[in-house]
Structure 1
Amino acid sequence: MEKIRHDLRLSETISPFGVGAIVDVRGESLMAPDTSWWDKKYAQEISCERLMARLGAGVLRQPPTHASRAGKETPALPYWRFPAWRFCERCDKLSKLTGKKKGKWSNTCECGGLLVPMRYIAICEKGSHVQDISWFRWVHRGRAASLNEAVRFCRDYKSLRFRRLANRGEGLASLMVKCHGCGNSRTLAELVTNGALQRDGIRCAGRQPWEPEGSVKKPCPHQLVAVQRGATGNYIAERISALDIPEERPQSAEAADQIRGHVYFEKVVTDNGGPQAQMVAGWIAEELGVTPETVLAVAGGEETSADEMLLDLKDGEWAAFLKKLDGGRDRTGSDFVVDGRSLEGVAGPQSLLSKIRGIGQVRRVREVRALRGFRRHDADAAMINADLGPDQWRRPTYPAIELFGEGIFLRFDEEKLAEWEAQPEVQARAGILKKRRVDSAWAGRLDVPEPRYIALHTLAHLLIRRLAFASGYASAALQERIYANSDRTDKTAGILIYTAAGDAQGTLGGLVRLGEPDKLIPLLVSALDDADFCSNDPVCIESDRQGASQLNLSACHGCSLVSETSCETGNRLLDRQLVLGGSDVRGLLDDVLTEVRRPR
């Protein structure tokens, strides 16, 4: 085994170079095996009860880290060479053999040339398996092989060559694999046709490269497809993250407990929706400050149970933020410190201030990110767990990292938001994205693009772009978390913009300082002013078909997009018109710039 020491950022071990991903290191192509290969004594266990409540049984472990230069005994993660087939850049020899240099294995050919990984690998269409293409077997298949007996029975394993033909242009037809033993050759153009590997008798092995051959219980029925080694779809990480905050019960859950504990509640249940139930529900509602419909819903068991809501990470976070906003200055000194700030007496456009209910300066927040598993080639393919060891079902190990940072929380007025999104034109505009989400095979994993979500999500992007100029952080260092659901018992309407990292970024204070209302309101106005003019207008503002799978409306790189690592949905579900307004629709904040620009 050849030992190569290479440093990765801690966050990269979750994504994009987590379990099952290919990483290029010093000219070599390596793949990270699952966590059953980790040396657990060097992988520190970290805790986050809220995240484990979502994942179920298991343990979160952080990859080993080091502060100075890595030595021979420095704890590290193992990586598996993949693909094993490589060709020599000097003599073109194609093989799985590794040379030796001074008695040690090295990535060199017998002639001394450097070995380069083959460009194509085979991926299972639906099983998320990946394997080397058996180049010797492949080159001895095809139309010529069926007619030539010498080709079919060739066993000259050391005579394969991978060459580029200068007289055939720059396409795949110019790349050829040839056996000098029997003389047969094939171009890579034959490799990428539909069903090519299936016709050549190459089947899916049903495993990952680091798994032994005997680990496969039953053959995989899905076809293989040849893809480039560095293609983005080769690795689709399934991540989950949670803010480590004191889990608060949503207000609806507490109200439901008060209703159930009322002395007259049994009469509502007994009458089962009859006239007496209506009357008694009115008494309970008046006494507890809720609506009669809420009392009847609790009696009928129609509300979402508290346990189900607590399992949803964002519901608990929203409730915790609301409690902090009402608490003023936070002196707890915990890992979740938020100062609630009032907008009373703050100067700014009234059309903006009236829609904001509160601001939170998040002075300290802890985030835990974990990798559940991954998929390959297709978002609907089978998910491969991050732990494939014998203990994977009882107590799996999830790769995870903890990050500390700071941020800004904005709560919007529910009544103003509900009034705005009830307009038919607003619903119709959001309906475009709703339909495309339903029609897309993979977009069902994204949030429902109701009007409030699209507007607040776009506003978060605009604010991130503006904060990158004023906070001292790069745009890619800022993250968003959108709380915008109207179908919950506790409706949410807010955004969190924060930075969290395992190193110095996240502890500098430049972001939380801008959370002071007298600084944040001008920044919001500036963000809206920036978005009012896009370098791609009028094409951008008039468009309703932009982005991946056309899941953006009036939003492009010139005005609304940020780094994909900063966005919850990968720069999808955005629309400037639902923020600033357009010819046929009123935006959530479309009066702000008019008020600011009005002559005084």
Structure 2
Amino acid sequence: MDRIKHDLRLSETITPFGVGAVVDIRGESLAASDASWWDRSRSPEIRCDRLLTRLGRGELRQPPSHAGRSAKDTAALMYWRFPAWRFCERCTRLSKLSGKSKGRWSNACGCGGFLVPMRYIAVCQGGSHMQDINWFQWAHRGTDEGVTEEVRFCRAYAELRFVRSAKHGEGLASLRVSCSKCKRSRPLTELVGPQSLRRDGIKCEGRQPWEVRDSATQPCDHPLIAVQRGATGNYIAERVSALDIPDDQPRSSGIAEKVRKHDFFSRLEADNGGPQSEMIASWIAADLGITAEEVLAVLGGDGGGDESILLDLKDGEWAAFLRKLAHRRDRSDSNFVVDGRKLDRGTSDIGSLIDRVSGVGQVRRVREVRALRGFRRQSAQASFIPADIGPDQHRRPIFPAIELFGEGIFIRFAEERLAEWESQQEVQARARVLVDRRRDSGWASRLDDPEPRYIALHTIAHLLIRRLAFQSGYSSASLQERIYANSNRADPTAGILIFTVAGDAQGTLGGLVRLGEPQRLVSLFLAALDDAAICSNDPVCIESDRQGASRLNLAACHGCSLVSETSCEAGNRLLDRQLVLGGSKAPGFLEAVLPELRSVLAH
């Protein structure tokens, strides 16, 4: 097998072209194999204990990288040709064979034409499996009268063609797979129905494209559907990121850490709520000086999926930011450098804004570690496939990861003001709309609880990102958010972090940090609110309660609040301008700011 080198950006090997994804590059279609195929000796290990603790047993490994042109011995990742079926753009022959030129494999047909990957592949609807469509098998099947004895017993594999014929109609009706030997011809319109492959007897093989077919493969009863190989639903990556912060943690997180590290915790996990759980929990509690209920609470939340992992990580980050805000100038030499600042009456005359922002952090340096847990296909309810599915269960699995360095702005909001606002009945009723829809959505486990404070602070972050794109020197796609807004934690959180990171160890250029200076930030804040006061889609937008994917946005659209999906931790969901600026349905958290600004300007 010849190795053909292609280059990808390091961050792309995590997402969108991480384990399990289909990559189109230089006219070829490839599938990324799982991390068990990685050469550990050439994949450097990344240290981030707080992230690895939440992910579980394993190790964080960075994909191999290089500078300059790739050579024969350059470290690389394994990508498999997928789909294997391709057609020649010149002679239209359809096959799984690769061309040869001077004894080397090439992406060209024997006639000299370029080989093009087939557009459609088969994806399992519930098991997250993916496989090639056997086009010869599919072309010679069907339920119509054209399936004669000659067609059924045809073995002319070299006579298959992928042709375009306008006389049969437009779109998929004009694309046909034909056999020159038995004259069988089927249009792609017979391929894309929800039960089409099942009617043709084509079943899921229960594996991924790079997995070898053997008796150990578990059977899969979920139906297959034909989808375009580049469809976004074919790959739903589950990525977790953490900021590199000091080891100090809030009491709630510290207790959980001690409980998980206790010698008896493995026995507690093995009993899994059985008759001995309370007794084992009491032993751990007596050793640590805590209650048995606290120990059992850690057991109930351990390994709870994306939501609990991310909330645990955010709790530690929130505590670290609060400690940094308590000091003005941070002179530490670490990967987490934050200067604490305050907004006061000397900063601005807009008292309603000053009263609601209790602290600002200029994040001069921050290290972020991103890790890929695994992926799903087709839907959020499909089976989860880990990033490392190797057969050797005794070795530690690999979590593909990268580390990035950058800068940002952290804003802490006044807890008392926020709690007072979100206790209002109208505010609760407005947020309950998204709470109910999130619960009924397949994305529930991947989204934060949309309580009023989360919706409001999340929307504020989007408004600031849109404004920062004009003033910071960074595009909106290069800015990211991290929302700390949860009242149901042991330590309630109320803040946002807007940051940018790059793979270079030197980080970024400082344009974002400068805008975190109090006077500049106030001007930026007011401009962002003024931009959002009127949307080009108003009054439809501001009065709406069903926008966005799965109707998980209220008064928020591309004209006022949405940003690049890569910038948003919720995929542009759970947004509402009314809970920020106010409206006919509910008062906004910052509703008084713009009227006060206009009053000050008038005088």
In the superposition, the TM-score normalised over structure 1's length comes to: 0.90
Q: Match for residue 143 of structure 1?
A: 143
Matches within 5 A, 1:299-378: 301=293, 312-344=312-344, 345-378=346-379
Residue number in structure 2 paired with 1:214: 214
Distance in structure 1 (CA, Å) of the matches to 2:109 and 2:255: 72
- Which residue pairs with 1:159 in the alignment? 159
User: Measured at CA, do residues 215 and 566 of structure 1 come closer, stay the same or move farther in structure 2, by a change above 3 Å?
Assistant: farther
1:520–1:177 Cα change, 3 Å: same
- After superposing the two structures, state which structure 1 stretch, 440-449 or 409-418, moved more: 440-449
Displacement of 1:18 in angstroms is: 0.4
**Matching residue's letter, 1:406:** E
Shift in Å, 1:39: 1.9
2:430 counterpart letter in structure 1: R
Identity across aligned pairs (percent)? 69
How far apart are residue 301 of structure 1 and its match? 4.1
**Residue in 2 aligned with 1:433?**
434
> 2:531 and 2:295 mapped to 1: Cα distance?
42
Query: 2-side partners of 1:114 and 1:584: how far apart?
Result: 59
Q: Distance in 2 between matches of 1:505 and 1:538?
A: 46
Residues 1:131 and 1:186: Cα distance change in structure 2 (over 3 Å): same
With over 3 angstroms needed to count, the CA separation of the structure-2 counterparts of 1:113 and 1:146, relative to structure 1, is closer
SS in 1 for 2:41: coil
Are the aligned partners of 2:253 and 2:315 in contact in 1 as well (CA < 8 Å)?
no
- Report the equivalent of 1:176: 176
Query: What do the CA deviations read for 1:73-128 (whole angstroms, capped 9, x no partner)?
Result: 22221210000000110011000011101211001111110011111101111111
| Structure 2: gaps of 5 or more residues | 257-289, 303-307
CA distance in 2, matches of 1:224, 1:520: 52
Change over 3 Å in CA distance of 1:255–1:184 after alignment to 2 = closer
Residues 536-551 of structure 1 mapped to structure 2, 5 A cutoff:
536-551=537-552
Residue matched to 1:203: 203
Query: Cα offset for 1:145?
Result: 6.7
Runs of 5+ in structure 1 lacking a partner? 257-297
Distance, in Å, in 1 between the alignment partners of 2:529 and 2:315 is 28
The alpha-carbon distance between structure 1 residues 52 and 147, as it changes in their structure 2 partners (threshold 3 A), is closer
Matched-pair contact (CA < 8 Å) for 1:408–1:512: yes
Task: Determine the C-alpha separation between the residues in 1 that align with 2:215 and 2:248.
Answer: 44
Per the alignment, residue 279 of structure 1 pairs with none
What is the one-letter code of the residue matched to 1:213?
Answer: R
Q: In structure 1, give the amino acid aligned to 2:583.
A: G
On the 8 A contact 2:119/2:228 being kept in 1, the answer is yes
SS in 1 for 2:18: coil
Could you say if the C-alpha distance between residues 380 and 505 of structure 1 is closer, same or farther in structure 2, counting changes exceeding 3 Å?
farther
Question: How far, CA to CA, are the matches of 2:475 and 2:537 in structure 1?
Answer: 24
- Structure 1 residues 77-96: aligned runs within 5 Å: 77-96=77-96
2:28 aligns with: 28
Aligned to 1:55: 55
| Shift in CA distance, 255/19, structure 1 to aligned 2, threshold 3 Å | closer
Q: Whose radius of gyration is greater, 1 or 2?
A: 1
In the TM superposition, residue 342 of structure 1 has moved relative to its aligned partner by 2.0
**What's the CA shift string for 1:330-349, capped at 9, x where partnerless?**
11111111111122331241
**1 CA distance for matches of 2:145 and 2:153?**
9
How far does residue 162 in structure 1 lie from its aligned partner after superposition? 0.6
1:375 offset after TM fit, Å? Answer: 0.7
Residue 499 of structure 1 contacts residue 505 of structure 1 at CA under 8 Å; is this kept in 2?
no
Alpha-carbon distance, 1:247 to partner:
3.1
**1:370-401 CA deviation, whole Å, 9 max, x = no partner?**
11111111211111111121335641011100
The aligned counterpart of 2:496 is 495
Cα distance in 2 for partners of 1:21, 1:483 equals 30
Task: Sort the Cα spacing of 1:418 and 1:92 in 2 relative to 1 into closer, same or farther, 3 A.
Answer: same
Structure 2 CA distance, aligned partners of 1:401 and 1:364?
Answer: 17
Match of 2:518 in 1: 517
Provide the rounded CA distance (Å) in 1 between the counterparts of 2:506 and 2:145: 59
Mean Cα deviation higher: 211-220 or 29-38: 211-220
CA contact (8 A) 2:430 2:585 kept: no
Would the aligned equivalents of 1:458 and 1:576 in 2 still touch at CA under 8 Å? yes
- Provide the residue aligned with 1:452 in structure 2: 453
| 1:300–1:93 CA distance, 2 compared to 1 (3 A) | closer
User: Would the aligned equivalents of 2:141 and 2:147 in 1 still touch at CA under 8 Å?
Assistant: no
1:304 deviates by 9.0
Q: Single out whichever of 100-109 and 163-172 deviates more from structure 2.
A: 163-172
AA at the equivalent of 1:415: E
Displacement of 1:300 in angstroms is: 9.0
SS in 2 for 1:217: coil
Q: Secondary structure at the match of 1:249?
A: coil
- Deviation per CA, 1:575-594: give whole Å up to 9, x if none: 00100000231100011000
Letter in 2 for 1:474: S
Distance 1:421 1:353 in 2: 18
Kept in 1, the 8 Å contact 2:379–2:442? The answer is no
1:482 aligns with 2:483: yes
Distance in 2 (alpha carbons) for counterparts of 1:342 and 1:437: 36
1:443 paired with 2:444, answer: yes
Post-superposition CA distance 1:293-327 (Å, at most 9, x none): xxxxx879479968969961011111111111112
How far does residue 6 in structure 1 lie from its aligned partner after superposition?
Answer: 2.1
8 Å contact kept, 1:479–1:499: yes
Figure out how many residues of one structure are paired with residues of the other and give that number.
559
| SS at 2:20 equivalent | coil
SS of structure 2 residue aligned to 1:45:
coil
C-alpha change, 1:420 and 1:245, in structure 2 (3 Å) is same
In the alignment, which residue of structure 2 is the partner of 1:416?
417
Partner of 2:585: 584
SS class of match (1:24): strand
Aligned to 1:228: 228
Deviation at 1:5, TM superposition (A): 2.5
How far, CA to CA, are the matches of 2:254 and 2:191 in structure 1?
A: 62
SS of the equivalent of 1:41 reads helix
Q: Which residue of 1 aligns with 2:69?
A: 69
Deviation at 1:504, TM superposition (A): 8.1
Give, in angstroms, the shift of residue 40 of structure 1. 1.8
C-alpha change, 1:45 and 1:145, in structure 2 (3 Å) is farther
What is the DSSP-based 3-state SS (H/G/I as helix, E as strand, rest coil) of the residue aligned with 1:214? coil
Deviations 1:255-312 (A, max 9, x none): 99xxxxxxxxxxxxxxxxxxxxxxxxxxxxxxxxxxxxxxxxx879479968969961
Separation in structure 2 between the aligned mates of residue 572 and residue 461 of structure 1, nearest angstrom: 11
Amino acid at match of 2:77: L
CA displacement 1:520-575 (0-9 Å, x = unmatched) = 11100010001011111111111111100010011011110101001000000000
Corresponding residue SS for 2:466? helix
TM-score, normalization by structure 2? 0.89
Which letter maps to 2:336?
Answer: F
